[in-house]
Structure 1
């Protein structure tokens, strides 16, 4: 039902604010002076022009109140009241006004909901508002609705250099709608990556508000009050060590050796020695014996703590921290997001990622780097790329102009770029340098050192996240990259090159957002029958043909395998056994840890023929089964009925691989509980939690991989795959139970393997 605006909307809101201003100014004065001030300002409130005057804006909502008032709330995403800034697990939100805003990240990107205003009359030329968050058209948006029809709509902005959660102004021209009744609806109908919307300060106005530039860095609420300090430090060990606080005072730290710029990043410095949460490090191994000059905004007592050392300082035993993943890839320090630069070469898998070494929130965007021989046990190396070299001519070879956003990696087997020295093949990284465009870096010594190509950018366009691949039939390179051409909108652009340096645009495929991926797979294991697969950051994929220049989908829309807190996945190039193995960013917050976020387990991608057609499956790699301990808890052919509806095991620790096969009788649901977490199979809806999963001959099989902060749920050998945080993260599971609801079923097999740590 449509309702009138609340008393604190529009004109009444202005009166309320003026009265509040009068009271604040009068408060604290002596009685006589206060009375005069208050009377004078109240006279101003009611005598000066109201919001009905042509010069005044009409405030629809600033979301500064304790609840949403008469705005109608549906679903879970918006909660019962406006958010107070950034929510748990979210990148830092900036650009909003006051303390409150609409933020649908409550519970993470998986939550959905709607927020609908009361009806109001359009009285000004423009409706304007601040908007941020996800950019999914029709899914994460604000809509203007008149007579039941959406007449205007806006989504969150794209990922901005320096602040992906930055709210900016949007203006709707509604001059031809004056006098009409309307409502506003803020929508979050997306559960994938960037599946949330932020809105603040909605106004009717006669003037537009110009968009603001996104901040170069995200200044926290407790901004650093200290002036710059300069310190000289003799480099006697491999690292510079310095302390970090999870609630730190952010300040820039710049490191020079001689006149060379070596590091330049924003750090979350502690306010004092008492507020240190962890220590981090910067690589200085090539400068041992020299003196570094460090310039930083930090408390003097913190600057005195900087030191050079060969060993990294750990306040907790490394890899044994409470929420440390035990069989997922996990960096030693700081924030991570997208996996990057994934390739196999000469016995090793090389894995890179977006990282902030000096804080647990998104910032800085170095590229972390690790290698493995089995994709299970990983060794972390020095970070491969560094941000914020700017226009400094003498900067470290690893430094980009600004942030090193996402990208990929490969091997230049044919020395097409001419960088090879000796017999060692050149490793190539393709990334988005937010200061110039799509860029390259390379290594001629197996990844020990990296050099940012002096001819960057190799592609200039409005987009990011290049996927680099070699197209053997055409003997040329391909970059698939997120792009925004005015005529195409959001798309994957395909560029081609013979030498990695000169690129030309070949085609665009509309309808994709961020982190492009493209590869070829056999159908049902038949190498003579293949299809190409393409997807972007949400991993919703299309099948089709690719001729080295153009991808042609064979069906409408996209298919989905991945669900939950899974985003920005990428696949290893050049796997020796022909496998295509995928890893995604697991968007899971790790409170109070010296690291934050993690990655999914590697999954082997295959194409299989199903009753719905050819579909992609994502099944954990077989190598993970080598972590299973002997003598698992198990039960076979156990019938659950209304009288005996549960089978359970008491267990210790919190690392498990649980494999279930059920045959239904007449139960409506089966629930697998592990600690405080629940996986539900709905026989009537044919769903595993929210994921469609059909029974086969009345049977369903699924698997749960449980790690300290998270779990992953896999249906039918990879028909669906969900990544989620644990409700009881870091705590022993205690009990695993399986129960039937609404009838009987047979537990054909329930096996609970304990898992060993890779550390």
Structure 2
């Protein structure tokens, strides 16, 4: 009889699946095969906490409500150990029966082996999810997601005193997947408030980058001052979709007529704006694999007409073209205005990986015409010469006709491998852009920290005027407060053209070396010994920016956060944005020359008050 009962139980388990005996209360787990498991939730908790192991492949999690498909997400469910948890909000399904039909990667020899995966013993229910920072390298004054993966900023607009920032977001892990529009807002471009996700994947695919505008004249017919979003729906193909919001971008209604733009080839990242001169809407769309930007026009934001294409054979062509923007910018010191077309590409940056190039020219509402020198070769111009500046686009409807941009502070070469896990990636500081004319007669983009950034300053802890610099070196202590975050402003003069080295270092011997070389008119940044770097062979790097002036003087404004350094030319001629991961904060700043003498005309160091990012 014992044998009969055992045999019956075995047969029953084979017919109905093997039920996990270690499931948390309120969770029933049935293993149906070596890579298929059903998870049934019978509890009113707010979250189902999913255990993640980053080194394994994604599991496909099909969510069923009352037996019908609701959504599909992809999660690296823990097989050997739990790196961290991500929350799946089940409170919105309170009155439904929730079942997760999960397909994991193959590789198990039997169902009994499959049920030993760590995720089945550690999955749990909870009414809260702790987003308190547990990361050593989480920035203190840059925008980051509370948890999960972030890449491109997109859909940014200003309305009623608030700056809205949307971003490419994975709520279910700290690597790229499940592309969703995350949402944060700020009254001052410095302190950020996080909001629920704005636009989520649907039957047309994941939600890739796009843009938002305020439809002041109700051209789309959804209502005056409706916020309109265009974005790329990315499933088997890429197509452009529309959504609209009547509550200032908190919630979006997906347009039932989607998609509104389809092409026979890959195209993404629609960026739209109202053209006051032609009285119609313009849209740029990245024809990614063709290395060009497509220009469309529309009277109503729904029906778009292709007018022209720009870019084939011009500028950097090595990688795909993405995330366009087209801005009419003032030329500093003049009454002139020119158009600048921003083009992000990956790979193909000046020092490897992803970067942001731009073109200056004219735009008649249908065609962008780039300025071409007498040589006939359009020079490649970079908005930032660091390794970690990508997907840079502007806020629409900014006050006083300001052109304010923000970028993704990382590089596709190693973005998924940097030494953080609770979150991955931050945004750059916001920057105001304009144009200036160089000594060579070319127009260049001026990039400066937005004025709102000044509010980060706490106390001026160092003030030096007119100190000599020699081979011996001039050293200054850096603030210790808040892990050494600070702003450093200085002006150098090397009248005989001697290179001046500026070194940031810590007690562990880790250091960053920056060199102003007036002889070849460059400013360089070397992070090869900056701290942790073994997570990627592409991370140790030396980068160099042209100063775009013939001068022995150089002013710099620098911002040091826990895992980044942003360097700005004092007049906006160049910027260098680089991640760094020192094992302890940089504590000393040293100015030196290899030979000869130079002068530190001024040095000011400010402590920084951490911003709100909650």
The TM-score, its normalising length taken from structure 2, stands at 0.78
Asked whether the equivalents of residues 655 and 708 of structure 1 are also in contact (C-alpha less than 8 Å), the reply is: yes
Give CA deviations for 1:545-567 in whole Å, capped at 9, x if unaligned: 21211112223334223122222
Q: Does the residue aligned with 2:291 lie in a helix, a strand or coil?
A: strand
Asked whether the equivalents of residues 286 and 322 of structure 2 are also in contact (C-alpha less than 8 Å), the reply is: yes
The reply to whether residue 459 of structure 1 matches residue 275 of structure 2 is no
Of 632, 636, 641, which aligns to 2:461?
Answer: 632
Determine the structure 2 residue equivalent to 1:585: 408
Of 338, 341, 347, which aligns to 1:534?
Answer: 341
Unaligned 5+ runs, structure 1 = 1-223, 391-400
The reply to whether residue 250 of structure 1 matches residue 58 of structure 2 is yes
Unaligned 5+ runs, structure 2 = 1-32, 105-113, 345-354, 373-377, 506-510, 525-543
Determine the structure 1 residue equivalent to 2:179: 365
C-alpha spacing 1:605/1:694, structure 2 compared with 1 (3 Å): closer
Determine the structure 1 residue equivalent to 2:249: 447
Q: Does the residue aligned with 1:536 lie in a helix, a strand or coil?
A: strand
- Cα drift, residue 727 of structure 1: 4.7
C-alpha spacing 1:360/1:637, structure 2 compared with 1 (3 Å): same
Of 567, 577, 592, which aligns to 1:739?
Answer: 592
Q: Does the residue aligned with 1:381 lie in a helix, a strand or coil?
A: strand
Of 380, 383, 399, which aligns to 1:561?
Answer: 383
Of 227, 234, 244, which aligns to 2:36?
Answer: 227
The reply to whether residue 685 of structure 1 matches residue 538 of structure 2 is no
Give CA deviations for 1:493-516 in whole Å, capped at 9, x if unaligned: 001111121111011112372111
Q: Does the residue aligned with 1:632 lie in a helix, a strand or coil?
A: strand
Work out the CA distance in 1 between the residues paired with 2:364 and 2:588.
53
Work out the CA distance in 2 between the residues paired with 1:308 and 1:474.
56
Work out the CA distance in 2 between the residues paired with 1:561 and 1:741.
30
Asked whether the equivalents of residues 323 and 593 of structure 1 are also in contact (C-alpha less than 8 Å), the reply is: no
Determine the structure 2 residue equivalent to 1:608: 436
Of 291, 300, 305, which aligns to 1:499?
Answer: 300
Give CA deviations for 1:622-646 in whole Å, capped at 9, x if unaligned: 211211221322321001234x432
Asked whether the equivalents of residues 157 and 164 of structure 2 are also in contact (C-alpha less than 8 Å), the reply is: yes
Q: Does the residue aligned with 2:119 lie in a helix, a strand or coil?
A: helix
Work out the CA distance in 1 between the residues paired with 2:55 and 2:288.
36
- Cα drift, residue 285 of structure 1: 5.2
The reply to whether residue 548 of structure 1 matches residue 352 of structure 2 is no
Q: Does the residue aligned with 1:343 lie in a helix, a strand or coil?
A: strand
Asked whether the equivalents of residues 426 and 442 of structure 1 are also in contact (C-alpha less than 8 Å), the reply is: yes
- Cα drift, residue 308 of structure 1: 5.1
Of 467, 474, 483, which aligns to 2:287?
Answer: 483
Determine the structure 1 residue equivalent to 2:352: none
Q: Does the residue aligned with 1:322 lie in a helix, a strand or coil?
A: coil
C-alpha spacing 1:617/1:284, structure 2 compared with 1 (3 Å): farther
- Cα drift, residue 336 of structure 1: 1.6
Asked whether the equivalents of residues 141 and 190 of structure 2 are also in contact (C-alpha less than 8 Å), the reply is: yes
Work out the CA distance in 2 between the residues paired with 1:259 and 1:654.
54
- Cα drift, residue 725 of structure 1: 1.6
Of 545, 559, 579, which aligns to 1:725?
Answer: 579
The reply to whether residue 279 of structure 1 matches residue 85 of structure 2 is yes
Work out the CA distance in 1 between the residues paired with 2:121 and 2:134.
29
Moved more, 568-577 or 715-724: 715-724
Work out the CA distance in 2 between the residues paired with 1:515 and 1:226.
38
Q: Does the residue aligned with 2:197 lie in a helix, a strand or coil?
A: coil
Work out the CA distance in 2 between the residues paired with 1:574 and 1:482.
22
Give CA deviations for 1:243-276 in whole Å, capped at 9, x if unaligned: 222324521112233466443111011125xx22
- Cα drift, residue 283 of structure 1: 4.1
* Structure 1 residues 343-382: aligned runs within 5 Å: 343-382=157-196
- Cα drift, residue 435 of structure 1: 4.1
The reply to whether residue 270 of structure 1 matches residue 92 of structure 2 is no
Work out the CA distance in 1 between the residues paired with 2:549 and 2:370.
29
Work out the CA distance in 2 between the residues paired with 1:600 and 1:717.
18
- Cα drift, residue 709 of structure 1: 1.3
The reply to whether residue 659 of structure 1 matches residue 489 of structure 2 is yes
Count of residues in correspondence between the two structures = 511
Q: Does the residue aligned with 1:606 lie in a helix, a strand or coil?
A: strand
Work out the CA distance in 2 between the residues paired with 1:471 and 1:424.
17
Work out the CA distance in 1 between the residues paired with 2:276 and 2:585.
50
Asked whether the equivalents of residues 339 and 583 of structure 1 are also in contact (C-alpha less than 8 Å), the reply is: yes
Work out the CA distance in 2 between the residues paired with 1:306 and 1:414.
50
Work out the CA distance in 2 between the residues paired with 1:726 and 1:484.
30
Q: Does the residue aligned with 1:629 lie in a helix, a strand or coil?
A: strand
RMSD: 2.5
C-alpha spacing 1:432/1:549, structure 2 compared with 1 (3 Å): farther
The reply to whether residue 576 of structure 1 matches residue 399 of structure 2 is yes
C-alpha spacing 1:372/1:232, structure 2 compared with 1 (3 Å): same
C-alpha spacing 1:263/1:325, structure 2 compared with 1 (3 Å): farther
Q: Does the residue aligned with 1:383 lie in a helix, a strand or coil?
A: strand
Give CA deviations for 1:426-483 in whole Å, capped at 9, x if unaligned: 3423334344511112222222322322212211122111112111222221110112
C-alpha spacing 1:703/1:261, structure 2 compared with 1 (3 Å): farther
Q: Does the residue aligned with 1:252 lie in a helix, a strand or coil?
A: strand
Work out the CA distance in 2 between the residues paired with 1:227 and 1:292.
17
Give CA deviations for 1:335-354 in whole Å, capped at 9, x if unaligned: 22111111111111111111
* Structure 1 residues 340-419: aligned runs within 5 Å: 340-387=154-201, 389-390=202-203, 401-419=204-222
C-alpha spacing 1:641/1:230, structure 2 compared with 1 (3 Å): closer
Asked whether the equivalents of residues 439 and 548 of structure 2 are also in contact (C-alpha less than 8 Å), the reply is: no
* Structure 1 residues 147-226: aligned runs within 5 Å: 226=35
Asked whether the equivalents of residues 347 and 373 of structure 1 are also in contact (C-alpha less than 8 Å), the reply is: yes
The TM-score, its normalising length taken from structure 1, stands at 0.64
- Cα drift, residue 697 of structure 1: 4.8
The reply to whether residue 321 of structure 1 matches residue 135 of structure 2 is yes
